[in-house]
Amino acid sequence: MAIKGHLRDFSVAQLFNLINLAQKSGTLTLDAADQAAWVSFRAGKLIYAQLGEEDGTIMHILVKAGRLTDRQAKMITTHSSSKGDKEMGLYLINADYLTQKDILATLRSHILDIVFQLFTWTDGFFRFDPNVLPPEDRITVHMDLENLIIEGSRRVQEWDHLDDEIPNLEMALKFVDRPGADIQNVKLNPKEWEVVSYVDPKNSIKQIAKAVKLNDLEIRRIVYGLLQAGLIEIVRPESMPQPAHAPRIRPLDERVQATLIDRIIDRIRSL
Amino acid sequence: MQTVKMVITGPFNAGKTSFIRSVSEIDVVSTERKISSKAERVKETTTVAMDFGRITVDDALVLYLFGTPGQKRFDFMWEILSEGMLGFVVIVDSARPETFREAMGILHTFRAYAPTPYVVAANKQDMKDSWSVDDLRIALKLSDDIKMLPCVASDKESVKKVLLELLYSILEEMDAKQGA
Ligand SMILES: Nc1nc2c(ncn2[C@@H]2O[C@H](COP(=O)(O)OP(=O)(O)OP(=O)(O)O)[C@@H](O)[C@H]2O)c(=O)[nH]1
Ligand SMILES: [Mg+2]
């Protein structure tokens, strides 16, 4: 079993959606022409991310974010015997350089920066290695993917496959009843909230777009984000008639037909 | 003599012909042809019109299995093939995510032709790079009520299982209709 392929065929948003819904643990490797990235998850939550060429140690991240100066960092590294990030973090806290809250907030925003960047990657290969996690000494975070997917989807630039993902605007939307999928916990912008307020199997996507004054592309983009975040699903609207060509099964008397199916079942079992 | 049919559909190279071949009592009457376009030459031949397999149920009943051509330019065959079917099987190559989007498209198209029961076969589960059934379900956005089965099209037992699940779905639907 493997999950691998090309980002053209399966986007970063779709990969995050898969990891979120299947609550996967492991590391996603993205390999683009000139860069690579690793993103790790535990039980469907984001815990770590690193860009290929970048120094991912906590010291480097804190310097980059301006939380420590180069001089401080050099001094600390030469004075402390510890190597791992966790030990280094403890040292920084104990020596009163930073609080635990500072360190985690800086790390979190560093990881988010990387992850949001990945949503713009459309060319490259991906591979998910289950149960491969960052080295023990790394400090990890714990972030829900729903918000991330919505925020990341806002940054997607290329929408080549949007029509394939949401082919029919006559369809309606409905909230999924999945544990953990709570729209209340998601940070949406006002336009997205407007769309969400119309989510109902009675309203077609087209009607929603009209009500909130969005064009086809704009409504598709918002629906795409909510879909990939696993918060809504596409359903046939209540008002939509069944397809014009009605069931074409031969109009047999139903009892006869059930026995006919039973006969086929017996035959196939005996093959 | 009464005849009924089921349709086996799915993207190019998913394993439709192999699937039918595993259970048909006649040599599959396949309208295969050597592949000329370079882009599609991952294999030597492809089905250009349809596959045609047969299972004689008893003296009075024959089941036909029709395989649709996989290539997009033969779409026009689909509606003709779907006419009067009992149900259909969508075969997906679990090891080729580049075909998932098309598989979804085919699924929606067939569902629109006729609201008959169907099952999805996650084929080529014997391959090292195949996606698991659970992952495929999410990738193809199939809700939990749609039957999805692991499959190896060259293995007769595996194909039998898929066909039986489709038949059970057909029975369930009849029961539901009768109840209503
Ligand atoms: N390993 C493996 N190979 C399979 C399986 N099913 C089919 N194949 C191979 O996949 C290739 C395509 O199989 P076909 O049965 O020709 O597929 P098709 O869907 O009829 O293809 P088109 O008619 O061209 O669309 C062949 O090389 C088969 O041998 C499977 O379950 N496992
Ligand atoms: Mg074929």
At B28, which CATH number?
Answer: 3.40.50.300
Best residue of B82, B141, B173, B175 to probe chain A, by most A CBs closer than 10 Å? B141
Q: A216-228 vs A145-154: helix axis angle to the nearest 10?
A: 160
Best residue of A145, A160, A249 to probe chain B, by most B CBs closer than 10 Å? A249
C-beta of B50 in contact with ligand 1 (< 6 A): no
The confidence score (pLDDT) of residue A83 equals: 73
- pLDDT tens-digit series, residues B137-147: 999 988 888 99
C-beta of B159 in contact with ligand 1 (< 6 A): no
The confidence score (pLDDT) of residue A255 equals: 54
- pLDDT tens-digit series, residues A141-169: 999 999 999 999 988 877 777 887 888 89
Average pLDDT, chain A: 88
Chain A segment 201-260 residues within 8 A of B by beta carbon are 227, 233-234, 242-243, 245, 247-250, 254, 257-258, 260
| Residues in chain A with pLDDT values less than 50 | 245-252
Same domain? A102 vs A129: yes
Q: Which two tokens stand for residue B90?
A: 């969508």
Q: Determine the residue of B18, B19, B27, B75 to mutate for testing ligand 1's pocket, defined as the one with the most ligand atoms within 8 A of the Cβ atom.
A: B18
Q: Which two tokens stand for residue B162?
A: 């898929």
The confidence score (pLDDT) of residue A4 equals: 94
CB of A3 closer than 8 Å to CB of A9: no
pTM score: 0.85
Same domain? A95 vs A123: yes
Same domain? A246 vs A127: no
- Domain that residue A23 falls in: 3-157
Give B178's contacts in chain A (Cβ within 8 Å): 254
CATH of the domain at A211: 1.10.10.10
Q: Is residue B73 part of a domain?
A: yes
The confidence score (pLDDT) of residue A155 equals: 87
Give B116's contacts in chain A (Cβ within 8 Å): 247-249
Please spell the DSSP secondary structure of A125-147, one letter per residue: EEEEEET----TTS----B-HHH
Q: Is residue B86 part of a domain?
A: yes
Same domain? A141 vs A209: no
Q: CB under 8 Å to A215, separation ≥6 — which residues?
A: A209
With an 8 Å Cβ cutoff, is B29 touching chain A?
no
Domain's final residue, options A157, A179, A214: A157
Q: Is residue B14 part of a domain?
A: yes
Same domain? A183 vs A221: yes
Of the partner residues B57, B101, B135, the one whose CB lies closest to the CB of residue A263: B57
Number of compact structural domains in chain B: 1
C-beta of B53 in contact with ligand 1 (< 6 A): no
Rounded Cα–Cα distance for residues B72 and B76 (Å): 9
The confidence score (pLDDT) of residue A246 equals: 43
Q: Which two tokens stand for residue A209?
A: 């777009």
Does an H or E element contain B47, and which?
strand B45-47
| Residues in chain B with pLDDT values less than 70 | 29-49, 70-77, 114, 179-180
Same domain? A16 vs A146: yes
Q: Is residue B77 part of a domain?
A: yes
Same domain? A184 vs A259: yes
The confidence score (pLDDT) of residue A251 equals: 41
Same domain? A191 vs A249: yes
Give the ligand 1 atom nearest the CA of B67. Answer: 20
Length of chain B: 180
- Domain that residue B93 falls in: 2-175
Domain's final residue, options A139, A157, A175: A157
Same domain? A173 vs A199: yes
CB of A20 closer than 8 Å to CB of B138: no
Same domain? A210 vs A152: no
Same domain? A10 vs A69: yes
Domain's final residue, options A138, A157, A176: A157
Same domain? A151 vs A188: no
Residue type at A72?
Answer: Q
Place of tokens 């960092």: A73
ipTM: 0.88
